[in-house]
Amino acid sequence: MKSKTILKEIKHFVKMELYGWHFWEVFWLVAVFCIIGTNAILFNDSYAAVISAICGIMYTFIAGKGKISCYFFGLLGSGFYVYLAFKNALYGNMLLYAGYYIPMQIVGIFKWSEHLKWKSHEIYKTSLGLDDTLNLLVVALMGCAGAIFFLKLLHDPSPVIDGITTVLSLVGMYLTVRRCIEQWGVWIIVNALSIMMWLKVALHGEKVYSTIVMWTVYFILGIYFFIKWHHELETQNSEH
């Protein structure tokens, strides 16, 4: 009897997580995964890069839709990304994912579960006030300067880009857990810089093409969900 209840709860959870999906969204995801798969076969990409890319894209897309299941893909993808960053001496990114991203995603599961809409099981979106935005900006700038200096001491091959993406990713994940629209502006910057960072790795002979595709997709999704969340916030605020 207990097993049937658990199975029923799982089915209900999956049903709610799939609520609100559109055909074109599924088609777009399948197309992206086909590109990643084709790319992996043609260029003999690493399994870790492929799995990290697929999980990372699923995480970003589902997070953009405000569904809590994004964190399950995020945790799996982060584990593989830690391995890739370590292998390519991107220590800032490695420490970021292992010491911050993974714990914060676990926190995000509990935090988001407290702010779900009854019908759609999507989170309620929020935005920062002016004071919070300015304070966060100052902290981010100071953090970037400190991270760049620290990574230079570690002989990181890309201390500036790695340092900035590391600190802004800290800020972005914090805003994600808080359900703030400003996260997408931060992610757009992080994703653009990360494309440059991994292109440099690829030019040195590493087979990380799926990772480059992943960050490119992240960049596109960042712009898309910033616009989408902006419209949803306007609708949400007008209802209250």
SS (H, E, C) 58-70: HHHHHHHCCCCCH
Report the amino acid identity of residue 18: L
Report the amino acid identity of residue 101: Y
| pLDDT band (50, 70, 90) for residue 4 | low
**Whether 104 contacts 177, CB under 8 Å:** yes
Q: Out of 91-95, 131-135, 187-191, which region has the weakest mean confidence (pLDDT)?
A: 91-95
Tokens (6 digits) for 152: 């230079």
Q: Which domain holds residue 169?
A: 2-238
In the prediction, which pLDDT does 1 show? 56
Q: How far is CA 234 from the centre of its chain?
A: 24
Among 7-21, 49-63, 199-213, 214-228, the range with the most confident prediction by mean pLDDT is 214-228
Task: Return the number of other C-beta atoms located less than 10 Å from residue 144's C-beta.
Answer: 18
pTM of the model: 0.81
User: Mapping DSSP to helix (H, G, I), strand (E, B) and coil, where does residue 123 land?
Assistant: strand
Q: Out of 8-17, 159-168, 181-190, 204-213, which region has the weakest mean confidence (pLDDT)?
A: 8-17
| pLDDT band (50, 70, 90) for residue 10 | low
**Whether 127 contacts 233, CB under 8 Å:** yes
Give the mean pLDDT of the chain: 84
Mean local confidence (pLDDT), 134-161: 89
Counting the structural domains of the chain, the total is: 1
Which residue did the predictor score with more confidence, 12 or 26?
A: 26
Nearest alpha-carbon partner for 90 in 150, 196, 162, 160: 162
Residues 6+ apart with CB under 8 A from 192: 219
In the prediction, which pLDDT does 91 show? 76
What are the start-end ranges of the H helices in 44-121?
A: 47-64, 70-87, 91-96, 102-113
Whole-number Å distance between alpha carbons of 183 and 131: 16
* 158 pLDDT above the threshold of 80: no
Q: For the chain, give the percent of residues with pLDDT over 90.
A: 29
In the prediction, which pLDDT does 86 show? 84
Residues 6+ apart with CB under 8 A from 79: 102
In the prediction, which pLDDT does 184 show? 95
Nearest alpha-carbon partner for 127 in 184, 61, 59: 184
